[in-house]
Amino acid sequence: MSKPVTEYTFVDRGVINSQYYEGCGVVASGYWDDVAYGIGSTPLEAANDALECLAQNDWDVDNIVIPDDIKNNDPEHLDDMKDEMCDLWYHVEVYVKENENE
């Protein structure tokens, strides 16, 4: 049985060269139970990648709603930048909590 998500938040890190992405974690937060990050050609693709990672870690992501500012952000300039610098991707992190009372 998947772990229920009672609270979540998305963090759009924007376009980053993957080798310079600083990473993310929950140890120092003392609040979130898990985090996953995704990469993609658009913020929506990156968010879906992060949700897939959470699902693979046994989280029930069916009720997580991707925010409109991520869902509707479809910039056209990333492909132009990729011609000049080949390893640029959108990075989105999703933090989840199982029990909001803790």
- Answer yes or no: is 59 within a domain: yes
The residue segments making up the domain with residue 55 are 3-97
- Answer yes or no: is 102 within a domain: no
Other Cβ atoms less than 10 A from the Cβ of 74: the count is 11
- Answer yes or no: is 84 within a domain: yes
Reported as a pLDDT band with limits 50, 70 and 90, residue 17 is: confident
- Answer yes or no: is 87 within a domain: yes
Strand residue runs (E) in the chain: 3-4, 7-17, 34-40, 59-60, 88-97
- Answer yes or no: is 51 within a domain: yes
Count structural domains, the chain.
1
Least confident of 20-24, 48-52, 55-59: 20-24
The pLDDT value recorded for residue 81 is 58
Tell me the pTM: 0.85
